[in-house]
Amino acid sequence: MSAPVWLGATTGYDGQAGQVNQFLASHAVTYLYQGVQKSAQITSAAGTQASNGLYIAQSFTTASGQTVTGYVMVYAAVAGSPAPWVISLQSDNSSAPSGTVLSSSAVPKEFATGIGGWVSVPLPATGLSASTRYWIVATAVGDSSDKYTWQKSNQVSGCSTSTNGTAWTAQAFGLMYQVYDQTPTTPLAGTWEDSGARWTWMTYTTGMLTGLEEYTAGQTADGYTASNRTLSYSGSLLTGVA
């Protein structure tokens, strides 16, 4: 049998049949490893671009011979309690995002911090064209108190913004990002299931798993469930999960 798409259950909400049946069969899973970095802008500049009222896009060019992406990283922060930030990979149309979504994931507020840092976003896609412009596109979300901000880079181009996701204006700055392919270099970095309905991400310190993030679309008031766990060790012995 085919399993229903992942749907998180939460205490206090009515159960649904799919929440039981989703455990009875395999789900469509893309396994993502550390991969090889193919494009990046990692030098910061003053200022950020906020998500409230604006779609935000950053262009990048695939490397020679590159036909896949695995995940991206954006340097971002969160303020307040905005809804999840949906980030997608889109093709290019006349030097702007085309609106054609090749892959997407929702990033909940729990996976970002108030001071900012690198946020991993699974965006697996195949069949890309090498040496071609693509876009990392973040949806407009939040208000003046509840929003995400994306850190500017030291570049003088690369970012475009839009109030509606279709008409884009090029900006005189770039944003900080990293793009990785699907080269199966260990360790496992994460999983992307049912087209992003559920995804997990892992972080490591000196080869040991020290962090685990889990996102699942759900029936809650926020529309998802999320957990963020930190693992601690004494030597090589696991001593706690918080």
pLDDT band at 12 (very low <50, low <70, confident <90, very high): confident
Q: Are residues 47 and 81 in the same domain?
A: yes
Residue 232: inside a domain: yes
Q: Are residues 172 and 55 in the same domain?
A: yes
pLDDT confidence of residue 34: 95
Distance of alpha carbon 208 from the chain centroid: 23
Q: Are residues 72 and 109 in the same domain?
A: yes
What is the H or E stretch that residue 45 is in? strand 44-50
Q: Are residues 45 and 154 in the same domain?
A: yes
Residue 7: inside a domain: no
Instruction: Report pTM.
Output: 0.95
pLDDT band at 86 (very low <50, low <70, confident <90, very high): very high
Q: Are residues 49 and 137 in the same domain?
A: yes
pLDDT confidence of residue 8: 86
Q: Are 124 and 133 in contact (CB under 8 A)?
A: no
Q: CATH code at 59?
A: 2.60.120
Rounded Cα distance, 106 and 80, in Å: 17
232 or 22, greater pLDDT: 232
Question: Over 70: is that where the pLDDT of 1 sits?
Answer: no
User: Of 159, 180, 201, which residue is a domain's last?
Assistant: 180
Residue 3: inside a domain: no
DSSP 129: P
pLDDT confidence of residue 3: 79
pLDDT confidence of residue 23: 86
Q: Are residues 87 and 173 in the same domain?
A: yes
pLDDT band at 142 (very low <50, low <70, confident <90, very high): very high
Residue 50: inside a domain: yes
Percent of the chain with pLDDT over 70: 100
Residue 10: inside a domain: no
Rounded Cα distance, 179 and 189, in Å: 14
Q: Are residues 103 and 198 in the same domain?
A: no
Q: Are residues 58 and 160 in the same domain?
A: yes
Residue 89: inside a domain: yes
Rounded Cα distance, 52 and 146, in Å: 8
User: How large is the average pLDDT for residues 29-38?
Assistant: 97
Question: Over 90: is that where the pLDDT of 11 sits?
Answer: no
User: Of 180, 196, 220, which residue is a domain's last?
Assistant: 180
pLDDT confidence of residue 10: 77
User: Of 148, 180, 212, which residue is a domain's last?
Assistant: 180
Q: Are residues 41 and 138 in the same domain?
A: yes
49 or 23, greater pLDDT: 49
Q: Are 57 and 136 in contact (CB under 8 A)?
A: yes
Q: Are residues 164 and 76 in the same domain?
A: yes
Which domain covers residue 203, as residue numbers?
A: 17-31+187-241
User: How large is the average pLDDT for residues 204-215?
Assistant: 95
Residue 154: inside a domain: yes
Residue 5: inside a domain: no
Q: Are residues 53 and 164 in the same domain?
A: yes
Percent of the chain with pLDDT over 90: 84
3-state DSSP of 133-179: EEEEEECCCCCCCCEEEEEEECCCCCEEEECCCCCCEECCCCECEEE
The tens digit of pLDDT for each residue in 151-168 reads: 999 999 999 999 999 999
pLDDT band at 9 (very low <50, low <70, confident <90, very high): confident
Question: Over 80: is that where the pLDDT of 202 sits?
Answer: yes
Q: Are residues 131 and 21 in the same domain?
A: no
Helix (H, G, I), strand (E, B) or coil at 194: helix
Asked which of 55-64, 175-184, 221-230 is least confident by mean pLDDT, the reply is 221-230
17 or 104, greater pLDDT: 104
Question: Over 90: is that where the pLDDT of 41 sits?
Answer: yes
User: How large is the average pLDDT for residues 176-195?
Assistant: 96
Domain count, the chain: 2
